[in-house]
Amino acid sequence: MVPAALKPGPASTEAVVIGGSAGSVRALDLILPGLPAEFPPILIVVHVLASSLTSLASVFSRRAALRVIEAEPGAPIERGHAYFAPADYHLLVEPSRRCALSIAPPVHFSRPAIDVLFESAAEAYGPLLLGVVLTGASADGALGLRALVDRGGRALVQDPATAEAPTMPQSALRLVPEARVVPLSSMVAELRALERAS
C-alpha cells in the first residue's frame, strides 16, 4: 500500500532533492544503493570541506544502480541520474531544468548549501518536486524545504531519533511540520513508493 503522503496527486514527481550534513554520507550509503536505475533524477547537497579531495560522486558511483556524477554547469537533469554538488560550489537548478553552479557566499556557513538547491529546484519543478532532509548539525535546508512545500512539492524528513545529528531534521520540522517523518531504515521504501506512485 502506498503511504498517504506519497499517493499520486494531480502531478507526478519529476525530481528529488536531498540535503544533509553530519552523518549524511552514511545515510546516503543506505539510500542510494536501494534505488533502481531508472529512478527520477536526484540532486544532492552534502556539506563537505572546500579542501575535500574525494568526490562523493566517485564514492557512490560504485555502489548505486543510478548513474552518480558530480554536477556540471549546463548539464541536463535526467532520469536515472544522481547529481552531487561539488565541494565549494552551490548547486542550483535552472528554469530549463539544467544544473548550475555558483560561488556566491556561503549560506549557513556552507557552500554548497541545501537551501540554495531546494529553493532553485522549487522554482523549476513546483509541485513536481520532492525534498528530503537528512541528518545534520545546522539549520540549512529548513527554509528551502518550506519554499518547496509552499510551491506544492512534497517533503520527507529523516526522523531525528534516527539521525546521527538531529539538528537539521528538527529545524526542518519546525518550519515544515506537515513534512512526512521517516526513520532512516524506511527511507528507501518511502522513495520506492514514490516511484510507483509517479
C-alpha 172: how far from chain center: 13
β-bridge partners, 43: 17, 83
Is the CB of residue 134 less than 8 Å from the CB of residue 166?
no
Among 81, 120, 140, 171, the one annotated catalytic: 140
**AA identity, residue 57:** A
Residue 43's SS3 state is strand
Give the angle 130-5-127 at the CA atoms, nearest 5°.
Answer: 35
Among 21, 24, 120, 171, the one annotated catalytic: 21
Is the CB of residue 73 less than 8 Å from the CB of residue 51?
no
Cα gap 99→93, rounded to integer Å: 5
Kindly compute the dihedral angle of the four CA atoms of residues 159, 9, 129, 191, in this order, to the nearest 10 degrees: 40
Query: What would the grid cell of residue 181 be?
Result: 517523518
Among 24, 47, 108, 120, the one annotated catalytic: 47
Residue ranges of alpha helices (H) inside 36-166 are 56-61, 114-125, 142-150
Cα gap 18→129, rounded to integer Å: 11
Annotation marks residue 140 as catalytic: yes
The residues carrying an active-site annotation are 21, 47, 140
